[in-house]
Structure 1
């Protein structure tokens, strides 16, 4: 299954086993682990171990994530956004400004390469040696690339009970982000139907 850095970044807010919401970027150490596990998704390739995760960098990344989730909420409209933060989304203009400002912090240059006997190619080159700036800019660029690409129209918010994830549909009829959510959603749907049938048979049962 294809992985999208922007989607994985947005879904660092997820449901927990108790039915609440957990944050995979809860502290600098958690951020460092998350980055290390996804180093290969960054373009150009980023040495995430050099980013020196601390509270300042964590605050920048979490602020950017808030903008990304606001833009994802718009992308899935008129479908429902993730319930995790639907009540406190950033205004659209502010979310776009925050994302664009992060992208602009690192101008990307392009290096022409043309080996003997091969066609020419252009390789992106980082515009700064500051790994922290490169990190935040890369997360923002991945979001811009996703939202302007063909997969945006397949972005959905999972509607299973307690789930708060965004996901990219693997096929047109996919409603939930993973099999466990599908099982919970079907069980909840079955329960509602059974309750409705019981209420229809005995209208005074709930009074």
Structure 2
């Protein structure tokens, strides 16, 4: 269902109680998103993938942002992270919480010929991301799509929401930290995930990116 611009439809939750003091807002967002996959709420996930239309699902994701009512920038970050999550999980039966930063996750992009810094496409993508003053949503979507195509773990959705919330904070230096993580030679590799698809359930990767 498409929401009217500026409207706040009844989504079955109290906006003032969304940000529980017992769990950080970004963790609440991740918990809700993974529940959508686990419960096969395909309608809500499809709404979240509609990036150019503000749907009820987007609005609900935004309410998890800190001080959501007075924080439109924070709402946008949470709505867009929910979009990226839904793009990554399209057709998947098991949710993935992700691991590490976006920069570390980008190290997993590539093929047997090389991943991360050894993959020219991954290098160009990260260079564009870290050079952007504004949050580079289009390049972030491309990164998530590449990770999905390579059947590699996504970044931590919780950390992604936190990092993007500090994108314009010069002291946080999020872009710089992502670049450092991307080029870290000691970073560990992660095995191919189990998507619930029998063809990929038993795959594993070694440090060279080969499969068995």
Give the TM-score normalised by the residue count of structure 1.
Answer: 0.26
Bigger radius of gyration, 1 or 2?
1
Give the TM-score normalised by the residue count of structure 2.
Answer: 0.25
Which structure: greater strand fraction?
1
